[in-house]
Structure 1
Amino acid sequence: MPDHLAPPPSALDALLGRASVPPRLLRAPVPDRAALDLAVSAALRAPDHGGLRPWRFVFIEGEARRALGDLLAASLLARAPDTPAERLEIERGKPLRAPLVVAAGAAINHDRPGVPPWEQEASAAAGIMNFLHALDATGFGGCWLSSPSLKDPAVLTALGFAAGDSLLGWIYVGTPEGDRPRPIRPAPEAFSRYWTPGS
């Protein structure tokens, strides 16, 4: 771990304490390359059936966020040509809500019938969760958001993904402003059970 980062909490504390930080509460500084590499290294520990390594992270900061905003606005206009100018400006401004945006996706291998695309996307999604945990453990905040533009082939291509790959989300990243939100989670018993045959 880079020397300038705070020691991480224990693994279980980190898992139980992580929470999304809304983009409006994220400020500079952002993780430097060493900290991002650490978070990606955590992502690479996700389960990976077939050893296909589908995880992909594209970092977008500074003025590149404005170009991404233009791309998102163009995507919205292509889907809905009657979109009012005010709504297009909202879409254009989305990447500016946080100092770093990460396009997270999956490079899909379509020539492995034993490892269908959904499994590769699941592996990439597990990697994104590890990425978020690593950011949280090193003092940064993140929020995983989606939008219809993730399904736009033009957006996929502009960000350097191949046709047939998948964009899985926009990760907004920065330093939390003040205390990060720590929502109270429901009891685990409501989401888990033992199975017995015939039940």
Structure 2
Amino acid sequence: MDTITALTTRVSSPRLQEPGPSDSQLDLLLQAAIRAPDHGLLRPWRFIVLSGDQRERLGDIMEAQLLEGQPEADQRTREIARNKALRAPTIIVAVAEITENHKIPAWEQMLAVGASVQNMMLAAYELGIGAMWRTGAMANSDLAKGMLGFQPKDQVIAYVYLGTPASSLKSLPDESPADFIRELP
């Protein structure tokens, strides 16, 4: 698949199943990620790659984050939170490790990591790997960040769920770029 085709046809895969990406495919995804634009060459991206039983540890973090905000959560709600980590064979947690007090502001560092995630998403699509970019409350939870090994200043940008699409991919509506262009006032 050429780059333009990937850019203009990529869709997310919300339902994923085994198998997940191979080690060589994961390496390609991460190689694509670290080629993202990065003002100041700060390299703010950090990745945690989880598969197999490691996802259960992420489930522990998801449950802890839930209980922080809802200490009275019942067992079913807790299980739902934990099982989010089992929605895909592989999850890559993408985090912006922020360099504070730098001429490159934190928001630009976060955008660089966002671009790295987009590179991963495009590479996954080209390789035939289903991918879904998720965030949610855990992206902003200082408790979750700490349990992932990061500081409150850092920002989780994405939980990238990877695997084999469990159903056919939805096609997006044909839209014209003109629908999104505004004139200078």
TM-score normalised over the length of structure 2? 0.93
Give the partner amino acid of 2:62. Answer: L
1:108 has 2:98 as partner: yes
In 2, the alpha carbon distance for the partners of 1:13 and 1:185 equals 14
Closer, same or farther in 2 for the Cα pair 1:47/1:68, shift >3 Å?
A: same
Q: Percent identity?
A: 36
Q: Which has the larger radius of gyration?
A: 1
Query: Corresponding residue for 1:186?
Result: 175
The answer for unaligned runs of 5 or more in structure 2 is none
Secondary structure of the residue aligned to 1:76 is helix
For residue 46 of structure 1, report the CA deviation from its aligned partner. 1.6
Q: 2:68 aligns with which of 66, 70, 78?
A: 78
Match of 2:113 among 124, 129, 138: 124
The count of residues paired between Structure 1 and Structure 2 equals 185
Instruction: State the match for 2:38 in structure 1.
Output: 48
Structure 1 unaligned residues grouped into runs of 5+ = 1-8
Q: Distance in 2 between matches of 1:173 and 1:74?
A: 23
Q: Is 1:96 aligned to residue 94 of structure 2?
A: no
- Which aligned pairs between 1:27-66 and structure 2 lie closer than 5 A? 27-66=17-56
Aligned-residue offset at 1:194: 4.6
2:69 & 2:38 partners in 1: Cα distance?
Answer: 34
Partner of 1:150: 139
Query: 1:6: which partner in 2?
Result: none
- Structure 1 residues 179 and 123, CA, compared in 2 at 3 Å: closer, same or farther? same
Q: Deviations over 1:127-146 (max 9, x none)?
A: 10111000110110100011
Separation in 2, partners of 1:121, 1:13: 27
SS for the counterpart of 1:35 is helix
What's 1:18 paired with?
A: 10
TM-score, normalization by structure 1: 0.87
Distance 2:181 2:13 in 1: 26
- Structural RMSD (CA): 1.5
